Structure 1
Amino acid sequence: MTIQENDARRHSILALPHADNRLLTAQVPTHDNLQAERLHRKQRLAAAYRLFAELGFEVGVAGHFTARDPIETEHFWINPLGVPFSQIRVSDLLRVDGEGQVVEGEGLLNTSALDLHYELQRARPDVVGIAHVHGFHGRVWSSFGRLFEPITAESSAFIDDQVVFQRNALRTASGALEQDRAIVTRAFVERFAQYNLLVWQNHGLWTTGATVESAAWRFIQADDSARAHLLAYAAGQPLVPEIDPTDRPSKERREFFGWLNFLPLWDRIRLQQPDLLD
């Protein structure tokens, strides 16, 4: 299914195939034209940053959300260092190559995690969006070094799709904390493997997606799940239902619903803050 953009239409969901008040598809649409796909990804990336600002996911200059470029597929788009998430526009985004060099755009580059994004993107050709921003609840939950449990419908979406990364477990032969960046990066990528949520112990959450939209929605859903867990366990001992592992939607269907859940957020932010498209 090919995307047919129509931003004059208030509700993007109406551009999807439908009849008798029902959707007729569970497939994420794409563009035939790669230039159009590049613009699409950049627009959704800028919109996601605006949404993250509203949700309080910004802490100083920390955090990064990248989108694989559809033309130069080893490149990615990222936010410029020091530009508030609430002010990021499409024209502000930087395109970075595999050497960590800016090849398009003007602004300062946040180099703190370029290798993590690049190596994860290189290892997983299915991934388009990689999000790691500093949501409060996700950071607090990460201190437990635990996975989410299916105590809510939202957190149950991560069953069998999440993993914990213990940076402090990486030690040299002498027992000292491993400082070699290449070793840490390789361990991170190997640990993330086929999952879409990584809980970096004592640091925060990472999410991936086959689209910018699904990666962004997963991060929002993950921080919400962290909040629910913190509240539930502060109040007592929540009941954890048994989940039939065979009763899970396919990976493609989960991607579609992640993408779909981002649509109303996209509609709202682009109408309220149209300058993000500049």
Structure 2
Amino acid sequence: MPASPASSRHSIRALPHANNRLQLSEPPRHADPLAERLHRKQRLAASYRLFAELGFEVGVAGHFTARDPIEPDHYWINPLGVPFSQIRVSDLLRVNGEGQVVEGQGLLNTSALELHYDLQKARPEVVGIAHLHGFHGRVWSAFGRPFEPLTAEASGFLDDQVVFDRHALRDANGALEQDRAIASAAFVERFAANNLLIWQNHGLWTTGETVESAAWRFIQADDSARAHLLAYGAGQPLLPRLEEADRAPKARREFFAWLNFLPLWDRIVQQQPDLLD
């Protein structure tokens, strides 16, 4: 479905403001569910283009989904094997709760069907779920440790992150649990209400109440992983002493995660307008 110019343009400069100050405290939503669906699909396609630029694509690994606003138990995802740098709105697949493609043409990545669907089902506020194979996030995950407040960006994950060790899941005989439903349930339970999950020896997962906030969090998380690797590789970094006032409320973090995505959106649609096709 072709994008209309009006629905595809949404920059910080166009947001409500007065006296050069932003007059908005939460991301806006479209009253028309069809307009909201198109909005989410456009941001999803744009995110894949950005992830390609940032080097988050490794073969056919990685997936980023957006909950459908009309059928909330469905989600949109990229077709398997199409390069992130070539993803368009019209390429996206809509998948139902049974893991069947109900809209779109292309191969479906079945490696994470339960994880995305079960996480959506458990957390109705979540719209975007991102898991890409960014290099720095994969390396940091090998430590099985959460981020520390080394930088302002890493501080954004304070009280909002968990570590998940898939290899700790064992059956009654002590063997690695192979049942995907059991593993998915453990994954969702561990994720809880957090927006960052560090899957030990695998990589990063982020969530958001918008596609934009989930995408930005993933970019921010991989950047934080890189900062941690560099800092600890150089020596023993100093950690700030944080006060309670330094811990921003989750609603505020959600808004600014969304807001930080907007300049990236403006740039990528100007440089690669074909993503809106």
TM class by smaller structure: over 0.9
Q: Which stretch shows the higher mean deviation, 12-21 or 141-150? A: 12-21
Give 2:165's aligned residue. 166
Residues 10 and 105 of structure 1, relative CA distance in 2, 3 Å threshold: closer
Distance in 2 between residues matched to 1:9 and 1:168, nearest whole Å: 43
Distance in 2 between residues matched to 1:135 and 1:22, nearest whole Å: 35
- Name stretches of at least 5 consecutive residues in structure 2 with no aligned partner: none
> Is the partner of 1:208 in helix, strand or coil?
strand
Indicate conservation of the 8 Å contact 1:163/1:195, yes or no.
yes
TM-score, structure 1 as length reference: 0.96
Give 1:195's aligned residue. 194
* Superposition deviation, residue 249 in structure 1: 2.0
Within 5 Å, give how 1:194-233 maps onto structure 2.
194-233=193-232
Letter in 2 for 1:129: G
* Superposition deviation, residue 244 in structure 1: 2.0
TM-score, structure 2 as length reference: 0.96
Give 2:240's aligned residue. 241
Residues 245 and 219 of structure 1, relative CA distance in 2, 3 Å threshold: same
Report % sequence identity.
79
* Superposition deviation, residue 77 in structure 1: 0.1
Pairing 1:120–2:129 present: no
Distance in 2 between residues matched to 1:9 and 1:216, nearest whole Å: 17
Letter in 2 for 1:237: Q
Give 2:90's aligned residue. 91
> Is the partner of 1:103 in helix, strand or coil?
strand
Indicate conservation of the 8 Å contact 2:137/2:222, yes or no.
yes
Give 2:182's aligned residue. 183
* Superposition deviation, residue 248 in structure 1: 2.0
* Superposition deviation, residue 143 in structure 1: 0.3
Distance in 2 between residues matched to 1:214 and 1:8, nearest whole Å: 18
> Is the partner of 1:224 in helix, strand or coil?
helix
> Is the partner of 2:13 in helix, strand or coil?
helix
Distance in 1 between residues matched to 2:64 and 2:10, nearest whole Å: 25
Give 1:53's aligned residue. 52
Pairing 1:132–2:131 present: yes
Indicate conservation of the 8 Å contact 2:7/2:39, yes or no.
no
Indicate conservation of the 8 Å contact 1:11/1:264, yes or no.
no
Pairing 1:269–2:268 present: yes
Distance in 2 between residues matched to 1:7 and 1:87, nearest whole Å: 23
Letter in 2 for 1:72: E
Q: Deviation per CA, 1:3-38: give whole Å up to 9, x if none.
A: xx9659987112211011111112111100000000
Residues 8 and 83 of structure 1, relative CA distance in 2, 3 Å threshold: closer
Distance in 2 between residues matched to 1:164 and 1:53, nearest whole Å: 26
Q: Deviation per CA, 1:122-164: give whole Å up to 9, x if none.
A: 0000100000010000000000000000010000000000000
Indicate conservation of the 8 Å contact 2:166/2:200, yes or no.
yes
Give 1:108's aligned residue. 107
* Superposition deviation, residue 173 in structure 1: 1.7
- Name stretches of at least 5 consecutive residues in structure 1 with no aligned partner: none
Indicate conservation of the 8 Å contact 2:48/2:87, yes or no.
yes
Residues 9 and 45 of structure 1, relative CA distance in 2, 3 Å threshold: closer
Q: Deviation per CA, 1:152-195: give whole Å up to 9, x if none.
A: 00000000000000011111122111111111000000000100
Q: CA RMSD, aligned part only?
A: 1.4
Q: How many aligned positions are there?
A: 274
Give 1:78's aligned residue. 77
Distance in 2 between residues matched to 1:143 and 1:87, nearest whole Å: 31
Pairing 1:17–2:26 present: no
Distance in 2 between residues matched to 1:120 and 1:8, nearest whole Å: 29
* Superposition deviation, residue 105 in structure 1: 0.3
